[in-house]
Amino acid sequence: MSIERADVIVTSPGRNFVTLKITTSDGVVGWGDATLNGRELAVASYLGDHVASMLIGRDEDRIEDTWQYLYRGPYWRRGPVTMAAIAAVDMALWDIKAKKAGVPLYQLLGGASRSGIRAYAHASGTDYQALANAITGYQELGFTAVRVQTGVPGLGQVYGVSAAGPGVRYDYEPAKRAADGSAATAPTEESWDTAGYLAHMPGVFERIRADFGTGLRILHDGHHRMSPIEAARFAKDIEPYKLFWLEDCTPGEDQTALRLVRQHSTTPLAIGEVFNSVYDYQTLITERLIDYVRSAVTHTGGITAMKKLLDFAAIYGIRSGIHGPTDISPIGMAAALHLDLAIHNFGIQEYMPHNEQTLEVFQTSFTFDDGFLHPGEQPGLGVELDEDAAAAFEYTKAYLPVNRLTDGTVHDW
Ligand code: KDG
Ligand code: MG
């Protein structure tokens, strides 16, 4: 048997997704997620124009060999576009292998190491009361861990904070279409003030601890906005509130920045959602500069590469915190859940439920119950894409916003 077809499907059920469908000569179908938020068509072209023809006739069982062929073969290695494309091929081949074996994928990764996958939700609000209401709402759903993001006095819309108002569940969709829902032509711009943020946030964590007690796992995302010394001071300032993690405190591309933060604080650190290779972590892991690996399976070369990355992290006592916002499709999410269940050094899983339109296109078998996710027992990844439903949602260009400091300088997210 061999790979007979490789088709790229782009759909936009409220947001854009790129999916690879691999079909074998005996009709087994495997699915892979290749969604790269705001740059979707670059990956669709990489797959459709350059990779698809290389797959035809290959043995679908040779997953490691295909991974190395796609990674080393083209001369140009790494990068988010390449690694998202390789990830999609890899996921689809694992999906096929597990379907052929008649087992859920986690069984091929070593079997279950736990009964459920602790998930964290995104709680946010423009002011403290709205944030507290959101936390309460997620606790009522069973979550024991929440990421908290809130507005900063003096600033307008802040990245990662819902403007929807108290009590409304936040669908995390920072990539914006035009105001009327049509294709965007350029990113929106938001303003940012690091000093105001640094002055405001410790008081927010203090109130959360006072109101919600010590049992709640509190996570926070710095979205790469601090300089190394700002991040070091912030991580130290918030130590009394014992966060589960502080994510992306400094821009991800500078691994040595984390040395400075680490020297000054015991606040646990998480980073990696914009990484695409184990080499992005080499210094961070071997020098124990982080506590959680935040890569997405979709952006890091798939299940084959993530398993190796997480095994490497395990040697240094570093745990997983796999990226799981809504720009990871249900296929990418399922891949994360199978890994989460199987690996020993699982930490926590991000969970942003997809909207109803997305779940019409992607039929999932994973479950959420009382704070814990499970990938389900369906053979393969456990997600099938409905091509008729997908065809009803035309690609609509959307961009992540650009941040500017109050003097107009372009800043990180
Ligand atoms: O595409 C960008 C989003 O995935 C990102 O902003 C989400 O920071 C994020 C998170 O931690 O989920
Ligand atoms: Mg993040």
Shortest-distance Cα residue to atom 2 of ligand 1? 37
Q: Is 399 a catalytic residue?
A: no
Q: How buried is residue 356: exposed, middle or buried, by Cβ count under 10 Å (0-12/13-18/19+)?
A: exposed
Q: Does residue 221 line the site of ligand 1, with CB under 6 A?
A: yes
Q: Are 19 and 384 in contact (CB under 8 A)?
A: no
Q: Are 272 and 289 in contact (CB under 8 A)?
A: no
Mean pLDDT score of the chain, rounded to an integer?
96
Of 245, 243, 246, 249, which Cα lies nearest the Cα of 227?
A: 249
Q: What residues are neighbours of ligand 2 (ion), with CB under 5 Å?
A: 221, 273
Residue nearest to atom 12 of ligand 1 (CA): 325
Is ligand 1 within 6 A of the CB of residue 174? Answer: yes
Q: Is this model's pTM higher than 0.95 or not? A: yes
Looking at residue 160, its pLDDT comes to 86
Residue 37: CB within 6 Å of ligand 1? yes
Rounded to 5°, the CA angle 239-240-244 comes to 60
Compute, in angstroms, the gap from residue 162 CA to the centroid of ligand 2. Answer: 15
Whether 80 is in the pocket of ligand 1, judged by its Cβ within 6 Å, is: no
pLDDT at 54: 98
What does DSSP say about strands 245-247 and 292-293: parallel, antiparallel, or unpaired? Answer: unpaired
Read off the tokens for 152.
């900063």
pLDDT in tens, 185-234: 999 999 999 999 999 999 999 999 999 999 999 999 999 999 999 999 99
| Catalytic residue flag (residue 159) | yes
If one counts every other C-beta atom within 10 angstroms of the C-beta of residue 266, the result is 11
* Separation between Cα atoms, residue 350 and residue 104, nearest integer Å: 21
56 Cα–ligand 1 center, Å? 34
- pLDDT value of residue 367: 98
**Is the distance from the beta carbon of residue 403 to the nearest atom of ligand 1 less than 6 Å?**
no
Low-confidence ranges of the chain (pLDDT < 70): 165-172
Token reading at 89? 């091929």
- Nearest Cα residue to 149 out of 175, 120, 123: 123
Question: pLDDT digits over 255-272, tens only?
Answer: 999 999 999 999 999 999
Beta bridge partners of 125: 150
* Residue of 16, 36, 172 with the most ligand 1 atoms within 8 Å of its CB, for mutation: 172
